[in-house]
Amino acid sequence: MLEWCYRYLARPVLFSFDPEFVHNVTLKGLEWVSASALLSAAMRSFCKSPELPVSLFGLSFPNPVGLAAGMDKAGVALRAWESMGFGFSELGAVTWYAQPGNPLPRVFRAVREEAIVNRMGFNNKGAQKLAEVLSHCKEKGRWPSHPVGINLGKSKKMPLAEAPQDYASSFRELKELADFFVVNVSSPNTPNLRKLQDKEALRAIFSQLQEHNRKGQEAPKPILLKVAPELTSEALEDIVELIPRLEIAGIVATNTTIARPKSDHPKVKKVYAQTGGLSGKPLRKRSTEVIEYLYRRTEGKVPIIGSGGIFTPEDAWEKITHGASLLQIFTSLVYEGPLVVKKINLGLQELLKANGFASIQEAVGSAVKK
């Protein structure tokens, strides 16, 4: 019923406004929810997900469905994500230097295809500001009980050669404030960023990060790599080879795509003509292919977080059985509303039972012959 209300009552109103405006207003609302124990509890009573625990990287995830990077870049609504039923959240992308991102408009909906094209360009207030926000959240007792990750991007003004220092500066500032980190070298919206997916560039970035990771009294944090869906099998092979050497804790597969499916619909064609990364339903198949490829090549030994076009429990199941241990959603939250998280988790619970698995971990990669 509530889902119906979102789709047929709330969504048409929201979709009559500019996507980024709606995003900002929604986040403001969720910031209020986060700041109030009462509102957080009220949201939880509608959205609570069933327990589907996953243990990974020494962390306990109450369920496998996480919030994808880009939704809460500034970490303003942490407790609301937990109340919405998410098993973990990834904040950011954050860069060392504050930056405005690309000129507006920079987010576009292809409603017929249930997709989004964005070219945000890492708009954010910088790592030091994010550290302040997160420290404040901890002090006020508003920290969620689920794991929190931070997506690290490169500051636009820094040349590629200085990317390692740039990522390392953000990491040093934020290391004690999150449970895991994701190195984002796969956004299509920062000029040449994806060149950093090359072997040598990755080696330089991860060497610096791991050097800082070993320093200090705290245990090292898991550092993952987020990859683009366009990577060829050769490029993926290079990454597979680098994983143990660079102590990459896992892979997030995948980011948005610069590819566009064919469409004859004039409105969709107009959106697809926009520069930027495409997310949502059209990304589902390719991101699952990348997950399966990586799962096979790493013999299931490297944790994969599946991201791309997950709207239904069946989409989530496809990603898990092809190798993903955890999942992330962004676009389905926009199209289906907040109850999508619970819906996916309830459906996963059913699918586990129907297929005779006792846990998510047992089902991971079960459709892939190793």
Ligand X SMILES: Cc1cc2nc3c(=O)[nH]c(=O)nc-3n(C[C@H](O)[C@H](O)[C@H](O)COP(=O)(O)O)c2cc1C
Q: Which of 144, 149, 222, 309 binds ligand X (CB under 6 A)?
A: 309
Specify whether the CB–CB gap between 89 and 72 falls below 8 A.
yes
- Tell me if 223 contacts ligand X by CB under 6 A: no
Q: Which of 283, 320, 341, 363 binds ligand X (CB under 6 A)?
A: 283
Nearest of 183, 253, 250, 252 to residue 212 by alpha carbon = 183
Q: Which of 303, 308, 337, 338 binds ligand X (CB under 6 A)?
A: 308
- Tell me if 40 contacts ligand X by CB under 6 A: no
- Tell me if 338 contacts ligand X by CB under 6 A: no
27 versus 35: smaller Cβ distance to ligand X = 27
58 versus 105: smaller Cβ distance to ligand X = 105
170 is catalytic: no
Least separation, in Å, of the C-beta of 291 and ligand X? 12
Nearest of 290, 366, 362, 339 to residue 65 by alpha carbon = 339
Amino acid at 24: N
Closest residue to ligand X: CB criterion:
70
47 versus 283: smaller Cβ distance to ligand X = 283
- Tell me if 47 contacts ligand X by CB under 6 A: no
Q: Which of 83, 184, 298, 325 binds ligand X (CB under 6 A)?
A: 184
- Tell me if 343 contacts ligand X by CB under 6 A: no
One-letter-per-residue 3-state SS of 331-347: HHHHHHCCCHHHHHHHH
Tell me which stretch binds ligand X (CB under 6 A): 26-34, 68-76, 207-215, 361-369: 68-76
Least separation, in Å, of the C-beta of 185 and ligand X? 9
Per-residue binding letters, 233-272, with ligand X (x by CB under 6 A):
----------------------xx----------------
Tell me which stretch binds ligand X (CB under 6 A): 64-72, 291-299, 339-347, 355-363: 64-72
The active-site residue, picked from 169, 187, 307, 325, is: 187
- Tell me if 298 contacts ligand X by CB under 6 A: no
- Binding positions for ligand X, rule: CB under 6 A: 68-70, 92-93, 107, 116, 118, 120, 151, 184, 187, 226, 255-256, 279-280, 283, 307-310, 329-332
Active site residues: 187
